Homo-oligomer: A and B are copies of this chain.
Amino acid sequence: MIVVLAGGVGAARFLQGVVQVVPQEELTVIANTGDDREFYGLHVSPDVDIVMYTLAGLVNESQGWGIRGDTYNTMQQLTSYGHEDWFQLGDRDLATHIHRTQLLRQGKTLSEATDDLRRRLGLKLRILPMSDQSVQTHVQTPAGLLHFEEYFVKRRCSDPVQDVTFVGAEAARPAPGVLDAIKEAEAILIAPSNPIVSIGSVLSVPGIHDTLHEASGMVVAVSPIVGGAPIKGPADKLMSGLHMEVSAVGVARYYRDFLDVMVIDEQDAHLLEAIEDLGIPALATNTIMRDAAAKKALAQTVLEAAGLDRFKHIPG
């Protein structure tokens, strides 16, 4: 079994490669739910939905989230009722949040609701939220403590980042199956996601960091930072706000407690030595996932780096 720690768009695209190589039945995704938030009384799990919609072939590819061809009529009417509209939820997308919220109101856990949706979307991999408890990623800025979606979507990352906190993390527990999946995995892949707000939030849940450290499977991360900037999203602003080096080296250093191999982009090959100086073996390859073939090649390289040679030559 292979475990992937996942955030949103970068992780979803990476997973599109992994599922070309690894049967879905052998995959467990541990998904960031630090961005979860209620909108209009509905529970939205942005990263989980991005992963599900992408793997189900429903995603709006150009924006990376939401459902292709969706309309926004419910939002428009909600706006006429005085609601804020900075977090765009499409009409078909809303069905997901309505369904999830109904399950949660019925007493189901977030894990159970996620698994129910995953199944209804026809996906065979396992998707575990990092926790069934609320852990909310907040960004400390001069304007105050902002929920990540408020910092990211509403205010478009315009506030200087002073700190990031995971509200509720100390009291949260890993969702059922999370620690066992890490312990039993042949390999744990860290998707090219925002290290702070996508992976850091997962690591903030007590027990996950230590279990990664003790895992017998190899832990291999793909850097989301290429040529000094993230492919997508505000990782650079968050990393520099936390006084981290905005590079694959900074990412490797953030993961160094449990990282076995760091995979970086070929245009950053000059950083290999600095990463190896941290005691972390590293390799450079094409990490820009332009098409299905590039996604598959990256997945194969990462799985080989994890010591799983059997995935090298699977036809697909």
- Identify the closest chain B residue to A40 (Cβ): B98
Residues of chain B within 8 A of A75, CB atoms compared: 95
Q: Is there contact, CB below 8 Å, between B71 and A91?
A: yes
Q: How far is the CA of A99 from the CA of B91 in the complex (A)?
A: 15
Residues of chain B within 8 A of A83, CB atoms compared: 99
Q: Is there contact, CB below 8 Å, between A91 and B120?
A: no
Residues of chain B within 8 A of A73, CB atoms compared: 70-71, 73, 90-92
- Identify the closest chain B residue to A41 (Cβ): B102
Contacting residue for A71 out of B71, B78, B81, B99, CB 8 A: B71
A74–chain B nearest beta-carbon distance, Å: 5
Residues of chain B within 8 A of A99, CB atoms compared: 40, 78, 81, 83
Q: Is there a chain B Cβ closer than 8 Å to A226's Cβ? A: no
Mark interface residues in A73-111 (1 if CB within 8 Å of B CB, else 0). 111111011110000001111111011011001100000
- Number of A interface residues at 8 Å Cβ cutoff, please give it: 31
Q: Is there a chain B Cβ closer than 8 Å to A1's Cβ? A: no
A204–chain B nearest beta-carbon distance, Å: 28
Q: How far is the CA of A101 from the CA of B105 in the complex (A)?
A: 12
Q: A70-B73, A73-B70, A74-B74 are in contact. Are A81 and B95 (CB under 8 A)?
A: yes
Q: Is there contact, CB below 8 Å, between A77 and B96?
A: yes
Q: Is there a chain B Cβ closer than 8 Å to A157's Cβ? A: no
Q: Is there a chain B Cβ closer than 8 Å to A117's Cβ? A: yes
Contacting residue for A74 out of B82, B91, B101, B105, CB 8 A: B91
Q: A42-B98, A91-B71, A98-B40 are in contact. Are A120 and B81 (CB under 8 A)?
A: yes
Residues of chain B within 8 A of A93, CB atoms compared: 77
30 A-B contacts (beta carbon < 8 Å): A40-B98, A40-B99, A40-B102, A41-B105, A67-B77, A71-B73, A71-B91, A73-B73, A73-B90, A73-B91, A73-B92, A74-B74, A74-B91, A75-B95, A76-B92, A77-B91, A77-B92, A77-B94, A77-B96, A78-B98, A78-B99, A80-B95, A80-B120, A81-B96, A81-B99, A81-B120, A82-B120, A91-B91, A91-B94, A98-B98
